[in-house]
Chain A
């Protein structure tokens, strides 16, 4: 598994280089952030795509502190800082950066990038998702973004190609669902760290066909694999905004704690694999519907917390979870509010909950503190 992931990592690095090269040959390059942005449809408009990622390292958020308020969440500050420092693989080489404006952190991050001269195209995602007119706003915003990409490439969206890429996205989803099923085993064959690496790689391969093949392959590999955790490990669900590509150290702490993280409810850096995108009719609308209406609402949507709690309880039941880890980004105010509600709801049901907060400063001291917190929590689950 580790070797396969390493190999995929190399492929993804090569892919970034190929995209940059293709750009010099006239294929525009689009960097994008957020589950509300359709990589498949952007590619069908004749552009290369690369996920805008950040988080998990301290230097980037620090680099943004002269420009951005210190109490923005560290993910937004990381992405901004990554662009400023040029640590992002594609930094400065994309023709346009597409962001989904789901909340003020993303809104202000997008403005900051624009202010620095990055060509940003924002997709507005209204939080009042049950309001009849809000879906139209998101859909129109998506269409405008795709027109922008088409203007860059000089090509209208190739509908057949779009259908193919969306079909591949559905294959990725099916492959992810298969791995999720395997995580329901008494001893899941994949650690949470590797699972999240795979999730992140599925975007960084920048090619839905390649991602589908890779995840299907790993799924087959895992079918016959032994459990990755100690026997009878307590089972955990992890929830929060995002596990970032730089968070692996923390995930390792969880994996080494003697508990198994078998399920997750995250809003970003994760495949929305519970729903497939319809292949007939208006593909842009189908995509929009799959992200906006047909899946579990993200935290900033209003209302969302009842539905999210329901989903979390369903997951706890399906995956046999003994406890929940709430992964909180520092200063992420709306997630902190959801946590307040969640802690009451879970306490009423006798489900243990751990609040694990990060500002991405993974110093030996902060990691030691996190280790202690996790160990105490897992120890409590065992008793």
Chain B
């Protein structure tokens, strides 16, 4: 029976009984929307998920399920539009609070999605489908090394995969390419959707702590406010202070859980969780879900309890004393990276650009929520000048006991990757922790293979193990 494999998929992620049967039709539609065949789903259930994810952790299964629920909601975007509701699409990285406030204000009539990020995550992380910048359907020159996420955006729009929204809220906090992709698609598709842009030039003096600079924070807050008023013009739903405060409260609730989980995992020996899984839980630091925080917080609470249990029992994913390598990029889109390190006796940890949940929480001040949101954006390491990023990176590396740090999967990214080699040298000098560079592209697994990377990864692992032995760990 064709639905069997889909049932097995849902069951693996924790659906059961009536709830499973009730969700199944929606999942079937979602799988169709995501262009996933039965073979793809079978591959995920039988091979991909059990190989690269710790499916024995209920928290992990719940978080994957939360992402699937979000994809299912997103597949309904066209229905929402047809029903006269508003749909806002947004880009990564964004100020999640600002976007989420629209959902609160809309009371069910405004939906928020990060479609390209969700599709990319579901495909690469859970179904082993690589993004390939060569397949962009738009005529972009592959030799130009465009970001595979933007290529996916171009491709999926051109192929009509994604329903046109009411408005797209673009963010130019890092690269130029992401917001410009919107302009390109509007030109190519002659699309009628509206767009709004929030951006700030990368002109802070090198070394400035940008989140502490009143001028930058005020300007970015004002950019957000202006963008919101434009978004409201299109949705017809005003976002008031109370909505922003509500969104901030929910976001902080999520951040505190991420911080708690990160603290638990990072301070334990043996390490109780896979690197991919830990990274997965921080997925919503720069985006928000239309399905809200309920599912993801439940997944986090479950994971926290499970990790606490493992710590009490002294259980880890590798033996006690195995080296810990802080990973600067998000490994979950190329999940075999985490496994290869683990197979070679090294824990990959942290992930997602060293999420400084604790530092973000400190940015929240009473009063203007836009200022707090702006300050948070300027406390995200990848959004700011290179030495400010080094400051934050070193903060994380000094906060947790790690044996090394690894970078390099932004070799396509003219903002994040531009000065990464210098950044590494600087962070290594400041922390005394060995830093490694493994060149790659975390969106675009098609750009390299396991064989390309195996020798380097083994070399890094040997180096870490030898220094662990030397230090008597």
Within 8 Å by CB of B140, from A66, A133, A337, lies: A337
Please indicate the chain B residues that have their CB under 8 angstroms from the CB of A108 in the complex: 202, 386, 414-415, 418-419
User: Which residues in window 276-331 of A have CB below 8 A to B?
Assistant: 300, 302-306, 330-331
Distance from A141 Cβ to chain B, minimum over Cβ atoms (Å):
7
CA distance in complex: A68, B172 (Å): 21
B184 and A341 contact, CB distance less than 8 A = yes
Distance from A319 Cβ to chain B, minimum over Cβ atoms (Å):
24
B419 and A333 contact, CB distance less than 8 A = no
B199 and A128 contact, CB distance less than 8 A = yes
B197 and A115 contact, CB distance less than 8 A = no
CA distance in complex: A255, B385 (Å): 43
A340 and B140 contact, CB distance less than 8 A = yes
Distance from A267 Cβ to chain B, minimum over Cβ atoms (Å):
13
Interface string of A102-114 (1 = CB under 8 A from B): 1111011011101
Interface string of B41-82 (1 = CB under 8 A from A): 000000000000000000000000000000000000000000
B223 and A306 contact, CB distance less than 8 A = no
Decide: A101 near B202, CB < 8 A? Known: A67-B422, A69-B418, A340-B184.
Answer: yes
Within 8 Å by CB of A68, from B186, B222, B226, B419, lies: B419
Interface string of B369-397 (1 = CB under 8 A from A): 00000000000000001110000000000
A133 and B226 contact, CB distance less than 8 A = yes
B203 and A337 contact, CB distance less than 8 A = no
A115 and B202 contact, CB distance less than 8 A = no
Distance from A67 Cβ to chain B, minimum over Cβ atoms (Å):
5
Interface size bracket, B side: 35 or more
Decide: A69 near B139, CB < 8 A? Known: A127-B199, A337-B184, A340-B184.
Answer: no
Interface presence of B188 (CB below 8 A): yes
Distance from B285 Cβ to chain A, minimum over Cβ atoms (Å):
22
Decide: A115 near B206, CB < 8 A? Known: A105-B414, A127-B179, A302-B179.
Answer: yes
Distance from A107 Cβ to chain B, minimum over Cβ atoms (Å):
3
B172 and A127 contact, CB distance less than 8 A = yes
Within 8 Å by CB of A69, from B199, B205, B414, lies: B414
B418 and A72 contact, CB distance less than 8 A = yes
User: Which residues in window 181-221 of B have CB below 8 A to A?
Assistant: 181-184, 186-188, 197, 199-206, 219
A101 and B180 contact, CB distance less than 8 A = no
A-B contact count (CB 8 A): 151
User: Which residues in window 103-118 of B have CB below 8 A to A?
Assistant: none
CA distance in complex: A304, B417 (Å): 26
Interface string of A318-359 (1 = CB under 8 A from B): 000000000000111110111111011100000000000000
A133 and B188 contact, CB distance less than 8 A = no
CA distance in complex: A23, B176 (Å): 38
A114 and B205 contact, CB distance less than 8 A = yes
Q: Which of B138, B139, B412 has the most CB of A within 10 A?
A: B139
Interface presence of A43 (CB below 8 A): no
Please indicate the chain B residues that have their CB under 8 angstroms from the CB of A102 in the complex: 201
User: Which residues in window 123-138 of A have CB below 8 A to B?
Assistant: 123-128, 131-133, 137
Distance from B171 Cβ to chain A, minimum over Cβ atoms (Å):
11
Q: Which residue of B lies closest to A66 (CB)?
A: B421
Interface presence of A180 (CB below 8 A): no
User: Which residues in window 209-260 of B have CB below 8 A to A?
Assistant: 219, 222-223, 226
A336 and B226 contact, CB distance less than 8 A = no
A101 and B145 contact, CB distance less than 8 A = no
Distance from B427 Cβ to chain A, minimum over Cβ atoms (Å):
13
CA distance in complex: A66, B203 (Å): 23
Please indicate the chain B residues that have their CB under 8 angstroms from the CB of A331 in the complex: 144-145, 414
Please indicate the chain A residues that have their CB under 8 angstroms from the CB of B420 in the complex: 69
Please indicate the chain B residues that have their CB under 8 angstroms from the CB of A333 in the complex: 144-147, 176-177, 414
Within 8 Å by CB of B203, from A70, A141, A344, lies: A141
Distance from A105 Cβ to chain B, minimum over Cβ atoms (Å):
6
Interface presence of A241 (CB below 8 A): no
User: Which residues in window 11-40 of A have CB below 8 A to B?
Assistant: none
Within 8 Å by CB of B187, from A71, A115, A305, lies: A305
B180 and A300 contact, CB distance less than 8 A = yes
Please indicate the chain A residues that have their CB under 8 angstroms from the CB of B139 in the complex: 340, 343-344
B183 and A131 contact, CB distance less than 8 A = no
User: Which residues in window 407-437 of B have CB below 8 A to A?
Assistant: 411-415, 417-422
CA distance in complex: A330, B145 (Å): 10
Q: Which residue of A lies closest to B417 (CB)?
A: A69
A302 and B183 contact, CB distance less than 8 A = yes
CA distance in complex: A341, B200 (Å): 25
CA distance in complex: A215, B404 (Å): 60
Q: Which residue of B lies closest to A106 (CB)?
A: B202
CA distance in complex: A334, B182 (Å): 12
Please indicate the chain B residues that have their CB under 8 angstroms from the CB of A71 in the complex: 145, 411-412, 414
Within 8 Å by CB of A72, from B143, B146, B147, B414, lies: B414
Interface presence of A183 (CB below 8 A): no
Please indicate the chain A residues that have their CB under 8 angstroms from the CB of B385 in the complex: 111
Please indicate the chain A residues that have their CB under 8 angstroms from the CB of B138 in the complex: 340
Interface presence of A122 (CB below 8 A): yes
A336 and B201 contact, CB distance less than 8 A = no
Q: Which residue of A lies closest to B172 (CB)?
A: A127
CA distance in complex: A300, B180 (Å): 8
Please indicate the chain A residues that have their CB under 8 angstroms from the CB of B188 in the complex: 340-341, 344
Interface presence of B451 (CB below 8 A): no
Please indicate the chain B residues that have their CB under 8 angstroms from the CB of A107 in the complex: 201-203, 415
CA distance in complex: A343, B226 (Å): 34
Please indicate the chain B residues that have their CB under 8 angstroms from the CB of A305 in the complex: 183-184, 187
A302 and B180 contact, CB distance less than 8 A = yes
Interface string of A122-163 (1 = CB under 8 A from B): 111111100111000100010000000000000000000000
A126 and B199 contact, CB distance less than 8 A = yes
CA distance in complex: A302, B170 (Å): 11
Decide: A137 near B205, CB < 8 A? Known: A302-B180, A334-B177, A336-B141.
Answer: no
Q: Which residue of B lies closest to A341 (CB)?
A: B187
Interface presence of B24 (CB below 8 A): no
Decide: A115 near B422, CB < 8 A? Known: A104-B202, A122-B205.
Answer: yes
Decide: A126 near B201, CB < 8 A? Known: A104-B414, A137-B219.
Answer: yes
CA distance in complex: A303, B182 (Å): 10
Q: A69-B413, A127-B179 given. 18 additional CB < 8 A pairs? A: A102-B201, A104-B176, A105-B414, A107-B415, A111-B385, A111-B386, A122-B205, A123-B203, A128-B223, A131-B223, A302-B179, A305-B187, A331-B414, A336-B144, A340-B140, A340-B184, A341-B184, A341-B187
| 25 A-B contact pairs sorted by A residue (CB < 8 Å) | A67-B421, A69-B411, A69-B420, A101-B201, A104-B414, A105-B414, A107-B201, A107-B202, A108-B414, A108-B415, A111-B206, A115-B386, A115-B387, A122-B205, A124-B203, A127-B172, A127-B176, A305-B183, A305-B187, A331-B144, A331-B145, A336-B140, A337-B177, A344-B139, A344-B188
Closest 10 CB pairs of A and B: A107-B202, A124-B203, A124-B201, A108-B418, A114-B206, A122-B203, A101-B203, A341-B187, A336-B144, A104-B415
